[in-house]
Chain A
Amino acid sequence: MRNKADTDKAILMAAFAKIDVIALAVALGSISALMLFLATVGLLLKGAPPGTEVGPHLALFSIYLPGYSVSWFGAVVGALYAGIIGGFLGFVLAVLWNLTHYLYVVAIVVRTAWWRMMAE
């Protein structure tokens, strides 16, 4: 059985739970890699009319991802890029999320200490 203090603590635990930085980086990197790989392979399997290029618009990713192309090799290269970029983005998001929570807690502690000091 839980008392009120326990459930209050549970609410705060849910609100202030930190994100595992590495886990989020791995998860976002993996899903990004999978998405770009499937997007490329999907076009390759679908093909294009004779004499036309497969996926000329998706190939524009090569502007940002040098070496990427809509080909089987390009799908692997793109997956690697997407994995790295997704992983980096996950890392940054997790760090920012945790940092904003820590800063918020610090701000509350400092403000409380300030008002206590002023009251005394």
Chain B
Amino acid sequence: MSKQISSSGHDSGVGQINRPLLRAAKKLNTMLLASVFGGVGGLSLFVMTYVSLYRGLPNPGNYLNLLGIFLPGYSVSPSGAWIGLFWGGVIGAFLAALFYRIYARSIESQLQDYIANDKPEKDLLGITLRIDGNYLGLAVGAIIAGGLVVTSNWLVFRGTAAESVHADLLSNYLPGYSVSFMGSLIGALELFVFTYLACLIFAWIYNRVAVLRGGELG
């Protein structure tokens, strides 16, 4: 049985949710996650660019260069790698912040569980994160599906939809997808479902392994 938290910030039972503390906790994790993903995103694109550049192929970055359509200034070149580092950082941080703002809703449901169930007290730093597959799927699915709509329609807006043969290849996995407004919506819906299911599997594996390793999930 779980108690509902009212919009005024107090639950209906004795325990009260400290809204400012909850907001501060969400803000902190948003900042930290954005930092981590910004760093990893930027460095990943930087390394991929250099790997592509020095792989010794006759036409380096033939396909990676296509990212320049979405990331102004980016190309597979030494200077492009630095621009990629910047864009990878910015986009990684933005998507991570967006992700956490959606996923953080699971904290409230975990708090409701905590209030409803008299679990024994735990050591603050000994708790292992429990991943909520439902919220993870909603957050990642929404971001990836939204990304597909934005990037597809960016190609339509540029007037290069007919030339976007590589983007069109997604129809191999997303039947009905095409580089058009309607096609992007159909593809986004399918991608959301696939991503949501993948996140459920991912969360299930993570939680199972964490429990098997003796972790006490929060």
Contacts and interface: CB of A to CB of B under 8 A. Distances in A.
A4 B15 contact: yes
A18 B127 contact: yes
A20 B40 CA distance: 19
B55 interface: yes
A119 interface: no
Interface in A1-51: 1-4, 6-20, 22-24, 26-28, 30-31, 34-35, 39, 42-43, 46
Given A16-B125, A19-B128, A20-B210, A11 B16 contact: no
**Secondary structure type dominating chain B contacts:** helix
Interface residues of B, number: 54
**Secondary structure type dominating chain A contacts:** helix
Interface of B: 13-18, 21-22, 25-26, 28-29, 32-33, 35-36, 39-40, 48, 51-52, 55, 57, 63, 107, 110-111, 114-115, 118, 121-122, 124-125, 127-130, 166, 169, 172-173, 198, 201-203, 205-207, 209-210, 213, 215, 218
Interface of A: 1-4, 6-20, 22-24, 26-28, 30-31, 34-35, 39, 42-43, 46, 57, 60, 63-64, 89, 92-93, 96-97, 100-101, 104-105
